[in-house]
């Protein structure tokens, strides 16, 4: 599915942007890059900024027209900071675009087309597109660097893919520490409650205060190990109290 998503860069001026775009793509699981008349490619600067994504550069297809880049695509989305007067269907929000892209890319190639750094896409190139998308930005300064625009749209595409049921993405999570059993947690609460009394903190049974503090600890969701540390701390405090009857 992600392999059906094609990133097309038209007449990119700075080879560094090509490299950075390749890296941006690969971090989001995209590998299909097409370059239309790049000013300088291959180029050391592209290789340098691609970092671990030089394979994307090596597999990139270089063509001489946008038409050649997208003729087999069922959807061609032109990313443009400046909307043209040619009223193509337009996505206000990249996430809406990404949902459609993921749907269509299940079956056939879909292209995201990025124009030149300074002048974007020509009207002829817009005519190769089925849709336009803009990245909502600061109205006072809304022109993103080319590779940053690629990163954002690739990110949104990945996000739409993640959110679709049935994909095989798993989140990277911290090692889940074992939670305590209910019994262990109740022992802790009893210990804490006892010390609240014995320390003189609660001069008379104050169910509310005790509940509030207990709720704090419950919300913290201590692991088994953390609970054990807390018990040890309470015991260390307790050792200084006067002997209890």
Q: Is 90 or 198 the residue whose CB approaches its own copies more closely?
A: 90
Find the shortest distance in angstroms from Cβ 111 to its own copies.
Answer: 20
- The DSSP call for residue 38 is -
**Distance (Å, whole) CA 230 – CA 192:** 9
Residues in the chain: 245
Find the shortest distance in angstroms from Cβ 228 to its own copies.
Answer: 15
Q: Is 137 or 215 the residue whose CB approaches its own copies more closely?
A: 137
Q: Which residues bind its own copies (CB under 8 A)?
A: 20, 23-24, 26-29, 51-53, 83-87, 90, 92-93, 95, 134-139, 141-145, 147-148, 151-152, 155, 158-159, 162, 169-175, 177, 223
- At which residue do the structure tokens 């809304």 appear? 142
Q: Is 69 or 113 the residue whose CB approaches its own copies more closely?
A: 113
Find the shortest distance in angstroms from Cβ 146 to its own copies.
Answer: 11
Q: Is 29 or 42 the residue whose CB approaches its own copies more closely?
A: 29
Q: Is 36 or 88 the residue whose CB approaches its own copies more closely?
A: 88
**Distance (Å, whole) CA 41 – CA 56:** 13
Closest CA to 117 of 84, 91, 142, 143: 143
Angle between helices 182-198 and 224-238 (to 10 degrees): 20
Q: Do β-strands 5-10 and 110-114 pair in parallel, antiparallel, or remain unpaired?
A: parallel
- Annotate 143-181 with DSSP letters as a single string: ---HHHHHHHHHHHHHHHHHHSTT----------PPPPP
Q: Is 136 or 242 the residue whose CB approaches its own copies more closely?
A: 136
**Distance (Å, whole) CA 207 – CA 14:** 68
Per-residue CA distances from 51 to 82, 158, 167, 205 (Å): 30, 20, 27, 64
Find the shortest distance in angstroms from Cβ 205 to its own copies.
Answer: 32
Find the shortest distance in angstroms from Cβ 237 to its own copies.
Answer: 23
Contacts of 26 (CB under 8 A, 6+ apart): 52, 53, 55, 56
Find the shortest distance in angstroms from Cβ 194 to its own copies.
Answer: 27
Find the shortest distance in angstroms from Cβ 172 to its own copies.
Answer: 6
Q: Is 169 or 201 the residue whose CB approaches its own copies more closely?
A: 169
């Amino acid at each position: 599915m992600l392999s059906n998503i094609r990133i097309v860069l038209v007449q990119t001026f700075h080879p560094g942007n090509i490299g950075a775009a390749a890296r941006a793509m690969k971090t989001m699981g995209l590998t299909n890059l097409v370059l239309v008349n790049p000013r300088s490619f291959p180029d050391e600067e592209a290789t340098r900024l691609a970092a671990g994504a030089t394979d994307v550069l090596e597999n990139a297809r270089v063509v001489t027209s946008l038409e050649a880049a997208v003729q087999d695509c069922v959807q061609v989305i032109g990313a443009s900071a400046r909307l043209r007067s040619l009223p193509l269907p337009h996505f206000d929000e990249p996430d809406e675009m990404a949902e459609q892209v993921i749907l269509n890319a299940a079956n056939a190639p879909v292209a995201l087309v990025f124009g030149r750094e300074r002048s974007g896409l020509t009207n002829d190139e817009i005519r190769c597109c089925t849709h336009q998308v803009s990245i909502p930005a600061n109205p006072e300064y809304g022109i993103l660097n080319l590779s940053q625009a690629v990163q954002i749209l690739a990110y949104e595409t990945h996000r739409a893919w993640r959110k679709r049921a049935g994909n095989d993405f798993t989140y990277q999570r911290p090692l889940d520490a074992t939670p305590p059993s209910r019994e262990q947690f109740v022992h802790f609460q009893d210990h804490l409650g006892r010390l609240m009394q014995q320390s003189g903190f609660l001069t008379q049974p104050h169910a509310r205060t005790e509940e509030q503090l207990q709720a704090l600890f419950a919300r913290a969701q201590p692991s088994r190990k953390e609970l054990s540390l807390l018990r040890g701390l309470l015991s260390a405090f307790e050792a200084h109290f006067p002997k209890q009857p």
